[in-house]
A and B are shown apart, each in its own frame.
Chain A
């Protein structure tokens, strides 16, 4: 299943493999989804307050890395799937972090695109004007 609104925002999806895996839902976003949650919108913001397990005034790459470090992730070099590890990819543009995707056991990546749908995709499929490029890969040992 494809989405015209997603392909408008992410033209690279048209030339890469992707699947829409959920309906639109404004309840949660990519950061929450990458962290394994779908009940809140995660973003550093003091007023109004959003959920953020870190400094609500810091939207830097360092702050995003620190939040995922607190979830057990560490920076690694490769986006190649590794047995026994879960990985996340942090996208950024010149303004800072924009998006996080989480790797599935199949090697594909799963993303919640803002308030739009969840998709399974390639990392390059979401690169472009909207999210910028993948800037950091992090991994942690898979549970169980």
Chain B
């Protein structure tokens, strides 16, 4: 009998799966953040907790096409995901989402690992899997996440630096991949904002659901930056 979490993902009944709701939407939709998976060791309660942590309900509901799936074999998943990602990149496979879910279900069977893969590979390649918590490897995972973030941020800045449109800037695939990292991206974004003020406000507002910028400071990049850094200090994000 399949684990309850996996059944939720496949049949779209879980609170956090979102699968049923999105399965008829166009693949590779605007946000290009169509798949995030979480391994949880077969415990539905743990899945729910992780789901809440990674995707606050408001963000998850608004992020069209974002999926939370479940399995518990990190190494098998990442190997197969890497191959799938390569196929997606090389062949523009339209059925990648369904195949990804199938692989996640197949790979289920090794409890006790937890991590996430980011939608980064939709446009750039495959993100290496973070190590399992019992390996004491969170620091390594954080370093890898930061490297991915920096690469995406550089791409976004290079490809949108000449644009004025906030809409076009914030819909850029690299920017949306950063948004797809969820709350884990917030400290990275704030550090980047501190280093070099830029248009990270859409991402911060979307991920956190907050907007600390007073109306009179709208458009004043220095003051918008200060407002977000102050909120980050208050919340312990920086």
Chain A: residues with CB nearer than 8 A to chain B? Answer: 5-6, 9-10, 26-32, 39-43, 45, 47-52, 59, 95, 98-99, 113-116, 130
Question: Which A residues touch B205, using CB under 8 A?
Answer: 47-48
Contact between B199 and A42, CB atoms less than 8 A apart: no
Q: Is the interface of A mostly helix, strand, loop or mixed?
A: loop
With A26-B198, A48-B224 as contacts: A43 and B218 at CB distance below 8 Å? no
Instruction: Pick the contact of B164: A5, A6, A29, A49 (CB < 8 A).
Output: A29
Contact between B219 and A114, CB atoms less than 8 A apart: no
CA distance A26 to B224 in the complex (A): 12
Question: Which B residues touch A28, using CB under 8 A?
Answer: 221
Chain B: residues with CB nearer than 8 A to chain A? Answer: 158, 160-168, 196-199, 201-202, 204-205, 211, 213, 215, 218-222, 224
Contact between B166 and A43, CB atoms less than 8 A apart: yes
Question: Which A residues touch B158, using CB under 8 A?
Answer: 5
Please give the distance in Å from B30's CB to the nearest CB on chain A. 13
The residue on B at minimum CB distance from A40 is B219
Instruction: Pick the contact of B165: A10, A27, A43, A49 (CB < 8 A).
Output: A43
CA distance A51 to B196 in the complex (A): 20
Question: Which A residues touch B215, using CB under 8 A?
Answer: 49
The residue on B at minimum CB distance from A39 is B220
With A48-B213, A49-B219 as contacts: A114 and B160 at CB distance below 8 Å? yes
Contact between B202 and A48, CB atoms less than 8 A apart: yes
Contact between A115 and B161, CB atoms less than 8 A apart: yes
Question: Which B residues touch A30, using CB under 8 A?
Answer: 164
Please give the distance in Å from A9's CB to the nearest CB on chain B. 4
CA distance A59 to B163 in the complex (A): 14
With A115-B161, A116-B162 as contacts: A41 and B221 at CB distance below 8 Å? yes
Can you list 17 pairs linking A and B with CB atoms under 8 Å apart?
A6-B162, A10-B162, A26-B197, A27-B197, A39-B220, A40-B220, A47-B211, A48-B201, A48-B204, A48-B205, A52-B219, A59-B165, A98-B165, A99-B164, A114-B160, A116-B161, A116-B162
Question: Which A residues touch B164, using CB under 8 A?
Answer: 29-31, 41-43, 98-99, 114
The residue on A at minimum CB distance from B204 is A48
With A26-B198, A43-B166, A59-B167 as contacts: A49 and B218 at CB distance below 8 Å? yes
Question: Which B residues touch A115, using CB under 8 A?
Answer: 161-162, 198-199
The residue on B at minimum CB distance from A113 is B162
CA distance A48 to B201 in the complex (A): 6
